[in-house]
Structure 1
Amino acid sequence: MSDDLSALLGDSADSLLQHKCTGIPVESLHVPGPDSVERLYMPTDRNCRTLASLQRLLGHGRLGGSGYVSILPVDQGIEHSAGASFAPNPMYFDPENIVKLAIEGGCNGVASTFGVLGAVARQYAHRIPFIVKINHNELLTYPSTFDQVMFGSVERAYDMGAVAVGATIYFGSTESSRQIVEVAEAFQRAHELGMATILWCYLRNAAFKTDKDYHVSADLTGQANHLGVTLQADIIKQKLPENNGGYNAVKFGKTSPIVYDKLTTDHPIDLCRYQVANCYMGRVGLINSGGASSGAGDLAQAVRTAVINKRAGGMGLISGRKAFQRPMDEGAKLLQAIQDVYLDPQVTVA
């Protein structure tokens, strides 16, 4: 294990690198590996073209052939406004630079909007796998509403050569029932056309904030993941859990005390392991998001998230703002530092 990794993890290095999960042991998981497509996806009802798309995504970039993925996601121009996203580094107002960063960074794929990827599709769709994000929360409506609406069709993503489509559902929101129906139909069509599917399984409800922000609790995000795999997402994107006990704090729904007494602890790897368990014990890959950029500590935070995800049994990291809100060479190095965690054989599944 490199001294650089231990230095980046700091005081938490031993805790993160030596931890062993006992509530949900590694032997019960389907762990990512070079044979992930054959072992995990081929037994399903996905057609041959979808399997080929998954193999292309898993076979590209520095992590190609490992079973792990590193994806650059840039839909923030819609989700957080173009100014908020790109003013720190205006070169990324130009879609070509987004795709260039994913290539320079050695990513498996680039996830962005119809506009961004469509603007450069003929130049780059054959050079790096495209993941088209088909719905967004546009955040210009005033007063603000929090809803995911479709920005285009699955057929349009197929026509531009995408290997996958991505979508968000705000589970827990008043609009979630409509979003579930829309995304289920879109994912069915994507699979028919031979594309893979990635679901952003986010929570959104003001009631989930009480004494803590339970939008990032292991139990509630785990259930969101379980709904996502039920919709036949091939990969689940989820925020890294920061706490637990959302069901009990919000006082709704049903759970079991076994979740808290036996299956999980307060250790971040155990919390993330519960997210993996809800992805059919890893049959569907879990990728955690890299989170917002906070400046000088971004590299250490990104590497920490990668270690937690990998050791929990996850499939990789999808990190955007930490990479594109800095010069391209620095952003590429940050993405490669994340990938180095998944390439390090000494960072094992806990």
Structure 2
Amino acid sequence: MRLIEKIRETLGEDASSLLEYKSTKIPKEKLTIPGPHSADYFIESDRSPQVLKSLNQLYNHGELGGTGYLSILPVDQGIEHTAAVSFYKNPDYFDPENIIKLAMEAGCNGVASTFGVLAMHARKYAHKIPFIVKINHNELLTYPNKYDQIPFGSVREAWDMGATAVGATIYFGSEESTRQIQEIAAAFEEAHQLGMATILWCYTRNSAFKKDGTDYHSAADLTGQANHLGVTIKADIIKQKLPETNYGFRDIGFGKQTEDMYQKLTTDHPIDLCRFQVANCYMGKIGLINSGGGSQGDSDFKAAVKTAVINKRAGGSGLIMGRKAFQRPLKDGVEIIRSVQEVYLEPEVTIA
């Protein structure tokens, strides 16, 4: 079976609407499209040769090496979601070495995890696969739970263990976002001074972002603006949830927005909603990678391929997928990651 036919079969009834869609709001000609020289897009920037070297290591590693696309395994759920609930489906991943092995076996561009996970086996693996150290987290042991991202270590510590990049989360829209923006802007500056690349999890978080039964945390306009704030503090890559709705600013009733803004820039098609996110990443000059989301069981393979198709056709730069892969046996985890990589390797899945 040809690869494009396999992708169509996986997408099922969604195949035509996703693979044949033509986007007209923000034409692809205005985008910086991922390609073999994606790291070179920073040559005119103030990124140092050492940062360019780190970006090249990331973009040129694994199955997608040299394509301009990224497939990253992120496993910070031991802190973000509690370890037991994250790993009970596959207790092997309590052992941090198995996290790194999964990323390597699946041909990922890099592995993103906590200080503890990556430090435990840094001497054995840091030179074999790019490490992305997640420097802050929201922990859920405090009672009652609070929702704040706090540093768990230093940028220098990440550099000392041989990290290629640092990753961080900002909860844009939260009460603590002002401090987080200042904190991570300073951390990214230090990372760049040391020659590491920077990846920002641009998540929105505010109880008011749920209104009248609709959750706007993944609205295209709110997440798009979070992306634009993220690239402003010099993230080299943006991680964002795939948009599921729009009109967050309008329906919640805050921020700056007009109806014309929505009509001119996007539609309700998932590819256009994702392209709205790409546009906010300096029209694709900063790569957008979408998250794979949680594991739902048998539907994971279709959901992962669907997210990859939407991201690629929108002009995005890849997928960062964890739970769908590590919450199942190693062989199956490798298979689902490879199914995503196939989308980015298939030339017939084009930019819409």
CA contact (8 A) 2:171 2:202 kept: yes
Once the two structures are TM-superposed, the CA of residue 19 in structure 1 deviates from its matched residue by 0.7
TM-score normalized by structure 2?
Answer: 0.98
Pairing partner for 2:337 from 329, 332, 335: 335
Pair 1:188 & 2:189 matched: yes
- Secondary structure of 2:14's partner? helix
Deviations 1:243-286 (A, max 9, x none): 00000111001023223212111100000000000000000000
Pairing partner for 1:253 from 252, 255, 265: 255
Once the two structures are TM-superposed, the CA of residue 35 in structure 1 deviates from its matched residue by 1.2
* Match of residue 203 from structure 2: 202
Pairing 1:7-26 to 2, within 5 Å after superposition: 7-26=9-28
CA contact (8 A) 2:308 2:319 kept: yes
Pair 1:176 & 2:177 matched: yes
* Match of residue 82 from structure 1: 83
Q: What is the CA–CA distance in structure 1 between the aligned matches of 2:21 and 2:302, rounded to whole Å?
A: 19
Once the two structures are TM-superposed, the CA of residue 20 in structure 1 deviates from its matched residue by 1.2
* Match of residue 239 from structure 1: 241
Once the two structures are TM-superposed, the CA of residue 197 in structure 1 deviates from its matched residue by 0.1
Pairing 1:151-170 to 2, within 5 Å after superposition: 151-170=152-171
Q: What is the CA–CA distance in structure 2 between the aligned matches of 1:54 and 1:262, rounded to whole Å?
A: 34
- Secondary structure of 1:142's partner? coil
- Secondary structure of 1:147's partner? coil
Deviations 1:57-87 (A, max 9, x none): 0000000000000000000000000001001
AA aligned to 2:326 is F
Pairing 1:27-106 to 2, within 5 Å after superposition: 27-38=29-40, 40-106=41-107
CA contact (8 A) 2:237 2:286 kept: yes
Q: What is the CA–CA distance in structure 2 between the aligned matches of 1:265 and 1:207, rounded to whole Å?
A: 24
Once the two structures are TM-superposed, the CA of residue 21 in structure 1 deviates from its matched residue by 1.1
Pair 1:344 & 2:349 matched: no
The root-mean-square deviation of aligned C-alpha atoms, in Å, is 0.6
Q: What is the CA–CA distance in structure 2 between the aligned matches of 1:281 and 1:20, rounded to whole Å?
A: 18
Once the two structures are TM-superposed, the CA of residue 318 in structure 1 deviates from its matched residue by 0.1
Q: Which runs of 4+ in 1 moved over 6 A?
A: none
Q: What is the CA–CA distance in structure 2 between the aligned matches of 1:243 and 1:192, rounded to whole Å?
A: 38
Q: What is the CA–CA distance in structure 1 between the aligned matches of 2:260 and 2:338, rounded to whole Å?
A: 38
Report % sequence identity. Answer: 66
TM-score normalized by structure 1?
Answer: 0.99
* Match of residue 303 from structure 2: 301
AA aligned to 1:258 is D
- Secondary structure of 2:217's partner? helix
AA aligned to 1:21 is S
